[in-house]
Amino acid sequence: MARLENGLKSLLPQWELSDSTELRLLTVSENATFIAQDPDRQSSIILRVHRPNYHQVTEIESELTWISALRQEGAVDTPALVPTLDGTYLTSFQDGEDTRYVVAFDFMAGREPDADASLIAGFRLLGNISARLHSHVETWVKPAGFTRKTWDYESAFGASPLWGDWRDAIGLSEAGETLITRALHKLKDRLDAYGKSGNRFGLIHADLRLANLLQRDDGIGVIDFDDCGFSWFIYDFAAAISFHELNPIVPDLKTAWLEGYASARALSEADIAMIPDFIMFRRTLLTAWIASHAETETAREAGHGRYTQGTIELAARYLEDQL
């Protein structure tokens, strides 16, 4: 982290931040996120240092283009981008042989929602937010060169999975691997039958989990579009319950989310029927992510091998149509 801090300090003048600016690490997941607090500036800014060799420049720029469009149309409450002195939103520093790209955002106050009964009302609002995001995408004309990853079965579980091989899961037994394999066969069949028509599949946030929501008195703010990409719209619900898939409150959260969603955009019975499939999809994808990012705080909090065992339990329920 010291190398990243030193790299960021070399960039501070690009945002007119003084030498007195204090950098503090907030989180490390795919990226390292810092808060920059300058006593000469009224408000703090957030600096996101991208993981090397993951997103290409065009992918990051496309994310920022979508954020700007969402803010301009008022589709979602999300922090504004902070430009550098030359008016660009993307800068970088060298970290050894790696180029580390950096994006700055305005600081948005709020707290991560708790996964308890108080969250139900928030999920109703989150459903509405998700529907507005999806409605925006259906009419928004993406600029030439717009590029983001696709989150489908092949990219998640195929020959070159984006987040690693779920079979490398910590503590995975042979019996557990067999059970998850059966679940994924069922999942693939159902995804193939469901299809990727334009009213089901498009650009989504793809990571609307609690850690990326800011609960405030006036509503919910949405942050971290770093995983946004092309996938099924209903996948956004599965992402919203990430790491809480086995929590008994999930059925109530689902009901609230669907109520909120229906207030802004229609879903068919076929769409709703796919929710268990996307919960299985997301859980297995996260299991692979934990295995390939075991050193991160997020993976430790998820429980490493304990999370794998939960995935096996979820697969068993999925195969019995009990999700």
The CATH number assigned to the domain holding 72 equals: 3.30.200.20
Could you give the number of structural domains in the chain?
Answer: 2
DSSP 232-265: ETTHHHHHHTTT-TT-TTHHHHHHHHHHHHHTTS
pLDDT of residue 119: 86
Residue 122 pLDDT level (bands cut at 50, 70, 90): confident
Q: Are residues 56 and 195 in the same domain?
A: no
Q: Are residues 179 and 30 in the same domain?
A: no
28-40: pLDDT as tens digits: 888 999 999 999 9
Residue 11 lies in a domain: yes
Which residues share a beta bridge with 37?
Answer: 22
Q: Are residues 270 and 142 in the same domain?
A: yes
Residue 272 lies in a domain: yes
Which residues share a beta bridge with 204?
Answer: 229
Is the pLDDT assigned to residue 130 strictly greater than 90? Answer: yes
Q: Are residues 76 and 131 in the same domain?
A: no
Q: Are residues 58 and 183 in the same domain?
A: no
Q: Give me the phi and psi of 226, to 5 degrees please.
A: -60, -30
223: CB partners within 8 A, 6+ apart: 78, 79, 105, 108, 212, 213, 214
Residue 112 lies in a domain: no
Task: Give the span between the Cα atoms of 281 and 163, in whole angstroms.
Answer: 13
CA proximity to 78, closest of 218, 204, 225: 225
Q: Are residues 130 and 266 in the same domain?
A: yes
Rounded to 10 deg, the angle between the 305-319 and 174-194 helix axes is 50
Q: Are residues 153 and 37 in the same domain?
A: no
Q: Are residues 175 and 315 in the same domain?
A: yes
Displacement of CA 171 from its chain's centroid (Å):
25
259-272: pLDDT as tens digits: 999 999 999 999 99
Residue 210 pLDDT level (bands cut at 50, 70, 90): confident
Q: Which of 106, 134, 168 is the last residue of a domain?
A: 106
Q: Which of 140-144, 239-243, 294-298 has the lowest mean pLDDT?
A: 294-298
Is the pLDDT assigned to residue 118 strictly greater than 90? Answer: no
Residue 114 lies in a domain: no
Q: Which of 106, 134, 152 is the last residue of a domain?
A: 106
Global pTM reads 0.94
Q: Which of 76, 106, 136 is the last residue of a domain?
A: 106
Full domain range(s) for residue 289: 119-319
Q: Are residues 217 and 310 in the same domain?
A: yes
Is the pLDDT assigned to residue 140 strictly greater than 90? Answer: yes
CATH number at residue 156: 3.90.1200.10
